[in-house]
Structure 1
Amino acid sequence: MLHTKHLRPFLAVVRHGNLARASEELRRAQSAVSRSVQELEGWFGVALFERSARQWLLTDFGQALHRRTKLAFAELQQACDALCERYPGSVSRLRTAPFFSLAVHERRLELLFAFTERKHISTAAAAVGVSQPAASMALYDLEASVGVPLFDRAHAGVALNESGELLLAHVKRALAQLRLAGTEISALKGVIEGLVVVGALPFSRPYVLPVAIGRVLARHPRLQVRTLEAPLDTLVAGLRLGDVDFLVGALPVEPLENALVVEQLMREPMVVLARRDHPLAAAAALDLADLMEAAWVLPRQGTPTREALGACLAQHGLPEPQVAVESSDISLIRGLLLETDMVSAASRQLFPHELRAGILVELSVALAGTERSMGILRRTQEHSSPGAQLLIEEIRQVCRDESGEGKRGTAP
């Protein structure tokens, strides 16, 4: 983990352009300030400054770190401001707390994150590799370094209070900026590496995302991609905290906060799917009424698919279809479609391989007004790593290719 205590001296040198004035501001020896810069240069493996007797100028690598460090410290300043509003009697202590310049031991931050994930000090201590008493002391010291209560302590155990949760969110976003600094410096050296975490929403998983990942990794084998499959609210929360780089898939219908950017890549209606030798597959044209006797497999009531299909049928004066099985599991739906006379309404993007192979077909009936958008949900541009940007661009290209192909596997 990056030794974050060296970042404040780094910023001071950038601000003043030389060691002498930076050491005066920090009230530290020039040798100590120089050592902090050298530690950072050793960590990133690059020269951050071009040095002369009179002036230290940022290199391109240094500029990348400087930009990300400023964004990280801005996050911490927001946390400090919010806590000052909550604790007006502790303003002077908060404003001078070393925590808000990340002058804190990395082990304490590791314990904080481990504790918030596992909810118990004993399991957090085991995860970090320290004893439980040492973990308890480290969290106590961290709280003391901030200067306001961060934990609720009761007989049932210890938990973050509202102030602790607020601080945690800003710290996570700050450290995410510093991780991005490392990937940007690697990119400047000509190497795309690091971890890209993608929230994989429906529509993207069967085809678009696998194809895009495969293409990017073929060109940049040192890059690593991790996908997360979870409810939208969980993934959006991870996106806000910097734990997730971006989301891709079926876009939410509800408006989102201004801090998040929505980019629509594809928009297409649902289709009615069945196996290729289904009794209805040979029909050249069908009406929706022709499907009322069929048995359906559909997601449960209240899902976007059911609501869109229900609205489409209602516009034609038709009732809800006969739903024999309610499920959102793609594997189960696929199996039922292939092994029975059931039909389903879904996006083509959920069954691309089956449609290309011809084992599933689209029935010749239109579902007007059932369009769903697929796209990308991310934070603003300054939150994207080089690897994430490359993957996003490849996803755009795959979607452009798909949009130009039109329908596939349509029943004769």
Structure 2
Amino acid sequence: MRANLRHLRAFLAVFDTGSITRASAMCHVSQPAVTQAIRKLERQAEAELFQRTSHGLFATPAGTVLALRVRTAFRLLDPALAELAPRLRITATAAQLTALIAVTETENFTLAARRLGLAQPTVHRAITDLEQEIGRSLFERTAHGMIATRAAELLTRAAQLAFAELDQGEADLGELLGREVGRIVVGAMPLSRSLILPRAIARFRQQRPTLPIQALDGPYADLITGLRRGEVDFLIGAMRDPAPIGDIVQQALFDDELVVVCGRHHPLLTQPSVQLAQLAAYPWVVAVEGTPTRQQFNQLFAPGSSTRPISLIETGSMVLMRELLQISDHLGFISGLQIESDIKLGAVARLPLRLGDTSRSIGLTVRAGWTPTRAQDEFLQALRATVADLGP
């Protein structure tokens, strides 16, 4: 709910005090201004947020749901505002913060304006007003564009998370009023895309046939950035050990084994037994550095030893790996579950080789303190039920 921030502060004050009079004193605005703010929010929510009685104002279920999200949003936003200027908590607007996010991400006023559907001077004025209140520049003007300062980056991230929380509140209100609002955004790592996610979505669709779902793929670093900005609800895939940063939480779902695979006519398949040392003579298709799969691959071969493969192709594409294995003597190192269907179809074969412990944990990654909407919680339940169906 991208409502006026001052209106939301007034709403929260009424929720906490049960009084227009006390709320107006807390917010340093007139009583009619508080009354008008509540009415505007109710029109936007299409629901009454308070019951008016002779003893005061009491929150309705819709008001209680909204208050929880608004309080969390300001808990995320206000420390960043206070860090920059004492009055910014009162003066900063949603429009200014939206412009800040757009300029930070595009590094250009014109591109930011185009993204927001506004005139370039409007975006420029919003940033200028913020900078005047803070008393310093939020961007460094360089030949490569408008580069956000550290202060601007911190405020941008706080605003992104606050707005994400308000969007969650809008979804909660819709749920309460019998409307389907919002969407689910999943950061899908390779194993989840090929095995878990399709089954979980199909199960979830039995309950929610129309709620939009967006499955994003890409490098882990990009998915984590999206998660921490509030653009992604959760990630599904190989967990990192240790977690890359302290503001995320990883929840294990199951363990997955990594295996060596090859084409159906690979020379090693004709041998009665295969030793690890023999594998170094062949070219490999492996995951990129920094991934759990690559870490496991590196551990198989002692650094600097003569048994370490010297020909590597790094990729996150299972399709590329499969095609290379089918037309050459390349070997692949990949999740056994991820490649299982290709093995059953005869597209590739698994080498009969004992590798020792090559297990890794597959799980969920969420923001610390994240509270899912009802629809998001139902999706996670469908996901866990899918994992249970797959067995050990």
Task: Compute the TM-score of the two structures, normalised by the length of structure 2.
Answer: 0.87
Which letter does structure 2 place at the counterpart of 1:18? S
Q: Secondary structure at the match of 1:262?
A: strand
Q: Which residue of 1 aligns with 2:89?
A: 100
The reply on whether 1:401 has 2:367 as its aligned counterpart is no
Stretches of structure 2 that go unaligned for 5 or more consecutive residues are none
Q: Secondary structure at the match of 2:135?
A: coil
The reply on whether 1:122 has 2:106 as its aligned counterpart is no
Change (3 A) 1:254 1:141: same
Tell me, in whole angstroms, the C-alpha distance in 2 between the residues paired with 1:300 and 1:31. 60
Change (3 A) 1:190 1:349: farther
Q: Which residue of 2 aligns with 1:34?
A: 35
Which letter does structure 2 place at the counterpart of 1:22? A
Tell me, in whole angstroms, the C-alpha distance in 2 between the residues paired with 1:302 and 1:23. 53
Match of 1:245 among 227, 233, 240: 233
Q: Which residue of 2 aligns with 1:18?
A: 19
Tell me, in whole angstroms, the C-alpha distance in 2 between the residues paired with 1:326 and 1:158. 34
> Does the aligned pair in 2 maintain the 1:283–1:364 contact within 8 Å?
no
State the shift of 1:378 in Å.
Answer: 0.7
Which letter does structure 1 place at the counterpart of 2:229? L
State the shift of 1:258 in Å.
Answer: 3.8
Which letter does structure 2 place at the counterpart of 1:31? P
Change (3 A) 1:302 1:8: closer
> Does the aligned pair in 2 maintain the 1:298–1:327 contact within 8 Å?
yes
Q: Which moved more, 1:286-295 or 1:11-20?
A: 286-295
Q: Which moved more, 1:219-228 or 1:150-159?
A: 150-159
Which letter does structure 2 place at the counterpart of 1:249? G
State the shift of 1:265 in Å.
Answer: 1.1
The reply on whether 1:187 has 2:175 as its aligned counterpart is yes
Tell me, in whole angstroms, the C-alpha distance in 1 between the residues paired with 2:364 and 2:244. 13
Task: Report 1:261-272 matches (<5 A).
Answer: 261-272=249-260
Change (3 A) 1:352 1:189: farther
Q: Which moved more, 1:171-180 or 1:375-384?
A: 375-384
> Does the aligned pair in 1 maintain the 2:48–2:62 contact within 8 Å?
yes
Q: Secondary structure at the match of 2:48?
A: coil
Q: Which residue of 2 aligns with 1:60?
A: 61
Q: Secondary structure at the match of 1:223?
A: coil
Stretches of structure 1 that go unaligned for 5 or more consecutive residues are 84-93, 405-412
State the shift of 1:286 in Å.
Answer: 4.4
Equivalent residues, number: 389
State the shift of 1:190 in Å.
Answer: 4.2
Change (3 A) 1:259 1:270: same
The reply on whether 1:342 has 2:325 as its aligned counterpart is no
Tell me, in whole angstroms, the C-alpha distance in 2 between the residues paired with 1:138 and 1:193. 29
> Does the aligned pair in 2 maintain the 1:269–1:367 contact within 8 Å?
no
Q: Deviations over 1:241-264 (max 9, x none)?
A: 222211111111233444321111
State the shift of 1:287 in Å.
Answer: 4.0
Q: Which residue of 2 aligns with 1:171?
A: 159
Q: Which residue of 1 aligns with 2:9?
A: 8
Q: Which residue of 2 aligns with 1:235?
A: 223
Task: Report 1:218-297 matches (<5 A).
Answer: 218-276=206-264, 278=266, 280-281=268-269, 286-289=274-277, 291=279, 294-297=282-285
Q: Which residue of 1 aligns with 2:80?
A: 79
State the shift of 1:335 in Å.
Answer: 0.7
Q: Which residue of 2 aligns with 1:353?
A: 341
Tell me, in whole angstroms, the C-alpha distance in 1 between the residues paired with 2:333 and 2:128. 55
CA RMSD, aligned part only?
2.9
Q: Which residue of 2 aligns with 1:211?
A: 199
Q: Secondary structure at the match of 1:344?
A: strand
Match of 1:148 among 135, 143, 153: 135
State the shift of 1:181 in Å.
Answer: 0.8
Q: Secondary structure at the match of 1:319?
A: coil
Tell me, in whole angstroms, the C-alpha distance in 1 between the residues paired with 2:262 and 2:269. 7
Change (3 A) 1:292 1:217: same
State the shift of 1:326 in Å.
Answer: 4.2
Q: Deviations over 1:92-146 (max 9, x none)?
A: xx33x2x425x644433332222112111122223323333332222212333x4
Q: Which residue of 2 aligns with 1:91?
A: none
Q: Which residue of 2 aligns with 1:407?
A: none
Tell me, in whole angstroms, the C-alpha distance in 2 between the residues paired with 1:210 and 1:82. 44
Q: Secondary structure at the match of 2:6?
A: helix
Q: Which residue of 2 aligns with 1:372?
A: 360
List structure 1 segments (4+ residues) > 6 angstroms apart after TM superposition.
Answer: none
Q: Deviations over 1:365-386 (max 9, x none)?
A: 2221221211111123544333
> Does the aligned pair in 1 maintain the 2:50–2:60 contact within 8 Å?
yes
Tell me, in whole angstroms, the C-alpha distance in 2 between the residues paired with 1:297 and 1:31. 68
